[in-house]
């Protein structure tokens, strides 16, 4: 099983995990880490190292962070750099965490995907899960038969 860690500012990671549990059931393979105003950022790094060791069952770990370049991401990179080489190669950090990404990660765990396949599926879902309505699709521009097609 692939280990999953969600590291965010505030309680966002707990909220995402809670929503995932509501939709999918148990999420025992997820550890959440929260960074609050005034927290010691280096302590977050220690917590990340502990969480990696806790969730890693030999198949790798994915750390989901909220923002690229922010403290949860930076501390993830520091924690990974302190790991043994064989473990370091199987830890991925994905930023911009959202609920659909976590649901795909859990699904990938359920079907026994490799960490590489899971990361690819998560990144695909991340781009596909963002939708804007109404669309500004100009493909119907100039189509005067639109009203007639509805009847």
**Among residues 22, 35, 36, which one has the least CA distance to residue 102?**
22
pTM for this one? 0.87
**3-state secondary structure at position 6:** strand
* 69-90 residues labelled b (16+ CB within 10 A) or e (exposed): eebbbbbbbbbbeebeeebeeb
Ordered per-residue pLDDT tens for the chain, 151 residues: 999 999 999 999 999 999 999 999 878 789 999 999 999 999 999 999 999 999 999 999 999 999 999 999 999 999 999 999 999 999 999 999 999 999 999 999 999 999 999 999 999 999 999 888 998 776 555 555 555 555 4
Close Cβ partners of 90 (under 8 Å, ≥ 6 residues apart): 56, 59, 60, 61, 115
């Amino acid at each position: 099983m692939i280990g999953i860690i969600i590291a965010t500012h505030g309680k966002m990671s707990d909220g995402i995990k809670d929503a995932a549990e509501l939709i999918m059931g148990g999420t025992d393979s997820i550890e959440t880490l929260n960074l609050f105003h005034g927290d010691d950022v280096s302590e977050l790094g220690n917590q990340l190292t502990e969480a990696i060791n806790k969730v890693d069952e030999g198949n790798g770990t994915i750390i989901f962070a909220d923002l690229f370049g922010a403290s949860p991401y930076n501390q993830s990179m520091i924690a990974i750099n302190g790991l043994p080489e064989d473990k370091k190669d199987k830890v991925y950090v994905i930023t911009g965490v959202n609920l659909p990404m976590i649901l795909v990660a859990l699904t990938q765990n359920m079907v026994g995907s490799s960490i590489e396949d899971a990361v690819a599926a998560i990144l695909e879902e991340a781009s596909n899960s963002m939708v804007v309505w109404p669309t500004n699709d100009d493909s119907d521009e100039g189509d005067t038969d639109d009203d007639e097609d509805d009847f």
